[in-house]
Chains A and B, each alone.
Chain A
Amino acid sequence: MTLDPDVLILTIGNKAAADEVNLEEMLSGIGVKIVYVDFREHIIDNTVPSLHILGQLFGKEERAQEVADFWQSKMDAIAKVIADNNPQRPDVFMYRAAGLVECCGTFGPDNFGLMVELAGGNNLGSDFLPGYTGSINPEQVIASNPDLIVVTGSDWTNSANAEGFVSVGPGTADGAEVSREVLASLVEAPAFTGSSAVAEGNVHAIWHQFYASPYQFVAIEAMAKWFHPDLFADVDPDATFKEFYDRFLPIDYQPGAWLSLEAGE
């Protein structure tokens, strides 16, 4: 309030807490409006409207339209390939925030779980978890025998209690060799004993922060390419992400938001 803002932007997750204290009424009394955006809870329905809201707020509605169009075109392209070919969906285990959360944290039917489905995979966590995150029994991972394992990671060097995380994300490409070693040791956990994913080398890591961003289409492209290399042979997520950076972001593209256990893939 001392900053005298015009608008307070909140993520939708804070709405319940804000409503409880009647924040909207309280702030409108001093001329502050609340605006909710969401890039996390309902990634398909809310991302484009959230972009438009931000565009309106900053008077850049055309620019927001361009971003939204870009987002939509990339999402549609993947959805079309999946719909046209209706490929067999591989079983995918999303190992959520490995190194920060004990095995086997994963995603339910939303967020990364939904991204897996959109990329043409079958998210194992959706069968067991009602919410969008949670942990499943390591033994269940063995019983489900995933075809692919995708670990989410980030540079959690400054995070308390983080140990053995896979450092992926913008600008981490130089540390890829170390990250691969970490990834290799992560899938030695009991939960992955004898899984087809490990046997076939279908183990990958992806930037955890895709979970709360408007960049989901990049993550989905990368995963679609892992799940169905033949169908998406001509898709280049790296180029997509670079194009997005070049067109819309004020900073240069830094690769490294994902990697595979087997280099050169």
Chain B
Amino acid sequence: MAAADIILTREAAVQGRGEYRARTRRKIMILVGLSLALCLSFAVDLAWGPARYGLDQVILALIDPDAVSAQVRTVIWDIRMPVAVMAIVVGAALSVAGAQMQTILANPLASPFTLGISAAASFGAALGIVTTVPIIPVAAGLIVPVNAFIMALAATLFIHFVSQVRGVSVQTVVLLGIALVFTFNALLAFVQYLASEQALSQVVFWTMGSLTKATWPKIWATLAVLLIALPLFARNAWALTAIRLGEDKAASFGVNVRYIRLETMLIISLLASVPVSFVGTIGFVGLVGPHIARMILGEDQRFFLPGSVLAGALLLSVTSIVSKSILPGVVFPIGIITALVGVPFFISLILSNVRRSW
């Protein structure tokens, strides 16, 4: 009997290994599919706009910029390209920030938007626009993004250190984040109330989020943060996956939970605050990008991390296309459109997912 048991277990093991491999293969295929969709969306974003150039012109402008007219070159390289690239980089950064916030705070509601980081950035920016008072001394042109960045960083670190206090549960941290949202929104309204009409319209535009302010230095800065963050997260992938099982279990596996949480939170603060300081408040992607990735790929960080990057980038890239297609000649602030594009997809995912993903 004992021998038969062992044989059965072996068969089960072989079968299990096969299932695991099949599942892994399926997840890799999903990641490949997301990558292809992102490439397609990026291509459409470059090819589509009010100046109706043929596909041949666009491709020629990309391959050999000197072979096309100055107008085509400018439209493709100076107007469409920065916005299209910024959409991808910002979408990826915010999505990853939200993903890891959800991971280490063990809460599905965590995102740069819901925990008050975006609100803090908005307040910092409004302070810069209305009072032109820099929080730290910087050049005049940098006051708005630097103020936004500092406030966002302060909010993130506040959340982190409060979450470290003994006896503070993850639920409390989310409540604190919501308190931050209200605090900074009140401060923002306070500054708006004091603002001149001109400054007020600038603040309102800023808080709606817009990719039209994309420039190459901003793109490189955001990309640099992303490229520093991703390898660090990837190195901690197993530890982060283990933390999702519960901190005590992770600790029993030998994971230094405190250290991992601090490191992750510091990286998140950069990932969340840098793009927001450049493009304004884009709320939805940091919450939903990771949820989409989790629903279709599961919790394993090896797939969840790249999945979040791709889902966020794809969401914002598609939004970028939609935002310039609604009214011809007008670019809608992307913060308005993000939710409108993402929500229907998100709801359909929630409703079709019988298996609980959180």
A residues engaging B (CB < 8 A)? 97, 100-102, 127-129, 134-140, 142-144, 159-161, 163, 190-191, 193-194
Q: Which residues of A contact B71 (CB under 8 A)?
A: 142, 193-194
Are B70 and A194 in contact, CB atoms less than 8 angstroms apart? yes
The answer for the CA separation of A127 and B129 in the assembled complex, in Å, is 30
CB atoms of B78 and A143 under 8 A apart: no
Pairwise interchain contact A143-B52, C-beta atoms closer than 8 A: yes
Could you list 16 examples of A-B contacts with CB < 8 Å? A102-B213, A135-B212, A136-B331, A137-B49, A137-B50, A137-B329, A142-B51, A142-B74, A142-B79, A160-B130, A160-B132, A161-B129, A161-B132, A161-B202, A193-B71, A193-B75
Seen from chain B, the residues whose Cβ lies within 8 Å of a Cβ on chain A are: 49-52, 69-71, 74-75, 78-80, 129-132, 140-141, 143-144, 198-199, 202, 212-213, 324, 327-331
The 10 closest A-B pairs by CB, nearest first: A128-B329, A143-B51, A140-B329, A193-B74, A190-B78, A160-B132, A140-B50, A194-B71, A137-B331, A139-B79
Known: A137-B329, A140-B50, A160-B132. A190 touches B74 (CB 8 A): yes
Chain A residues with CB below 8 A from B51, complex form: 139-140, 142-143
Minimal beta-carbon separation of A15 from chain B (angstroms):
16
Please give, as numbers and ranges, the residues of chain B lying within 8 Å of A97 by CB-CB distance.
Answer: 198
A26, chain B: closest CB distance, angstroms: 21
Which residues from B are CB-within-8-Å of A142? 51, 71, 74-75, 79
A102 proximity list for chain B (CB < 8 A): 212-213
Smallest CB–CB gap between B325 and chain A, Å? 11
Are A137 and B52 within 8 A (Cβ)?
Answer: no
Contact between B80 and A139 (Cβ–Cβ < 8 Å)? yes
- B80 contact set on A, CB distance < 8 A: 139
Residues of B within 8 A of A101 (CB): 202
Given contacts A135-B330, A143-B52, 11 further A-B contacts (CB under 8 A): A100-B198, A135-B212, A139-B79, A139-B80, A140-B329, A142-B71, A142-B79, A143-B51, A161-B129, A190-B79, A194-B70
- Residue of B with least CB distance to A191: B79
